[in-house]
Amino acid sequence: MSIHIVLVEPEIPPNTGNIARSCAATGSVLHLVKPLGFSIDDKSLKRAGLDYWPFVKLEVHESLEEFFEIYGEAVTNKSMYFATTKGGRLYTDVEFKDGDMILFGRETAGLPKELIEKNKDHTLRIPMIGDVRLRSLNLSNSVNIILFEALRQIGFPKLE
């Protein structure tokens, strides 16, 4: 098992490439939910991921609906978390387990509002000051902050 990072409709190739590198380095699974703002063959995506792509455990989903058909509805899945600036809890207040899934939204819009509303009890956020919180941190930075906290909590499995 491992942590699952789910990018819902990512738009910026270098962000996804950087996240892919982190997933490869930690043995985490990367899920890309279409539509994507780029081609998976995009040169800048591959450049950002460098030569890590062969080591990425990658799953591509045609839609968010398809993702939930495979992994279950979020409200019944206690191991699914939704990262949003509107999150109810800090990411450090969550007790992560091996196999947990953390969903992140598009760089320009975040996760769909109805998804956040439906899953309020499973939302989490990174603390930020004032008006900066209204926008958010860079997607790849946000993923790494939360991913490494989850990995720390489960004892950095298989990592040296």
pLDDT score recorded for residue 7: 98
Q: Residue 151 and residue 3: Cα distance in Å, rounded?
A: 7
Print burial letters for 73-87: b (CB count within 10 Å at least 16), e (below 16): ebeeeebbbbbbbeb
Within-domain flag for 137: yes
At 129, the pLDDT band (50, 70, 90 cuts) reads confident
Nearest to 102 by CA among 148, 135, 136, 155: 148
The answer to the question of residue 41 being in a domain is yes
Does residue 70 form part of some domain?
A: yes
What ranges in 27-136 are assigned the alpha helix state H?
43-49, 64-71, 113-118
**Structural domain range at position 91:** 4-153
Measure the CA–CA gap between 109 and 21, rounded to whole angstroms. 23
The pTM for the full model equals 0.92
Which CATH number covers residue 59? 3.40.1280.10
Per-residue pLDDT, 45: 65
Q: What is the pLDDT of residues 17-71, one digit of tens each?
A: 999 999 999 999 999 999 998 888 767 666 666 678 889 999 999 999 999 999 9
Query: Lowest mean pLDDT: which of 17-26, 43-52, 89-98, 142-151?
Result: 43-52
Cα dist from 111 to 56, 83, 99, 108, whole Å: 23, 8, 21, 10
Percent of the chain's residues with pLDDT above 90: 70
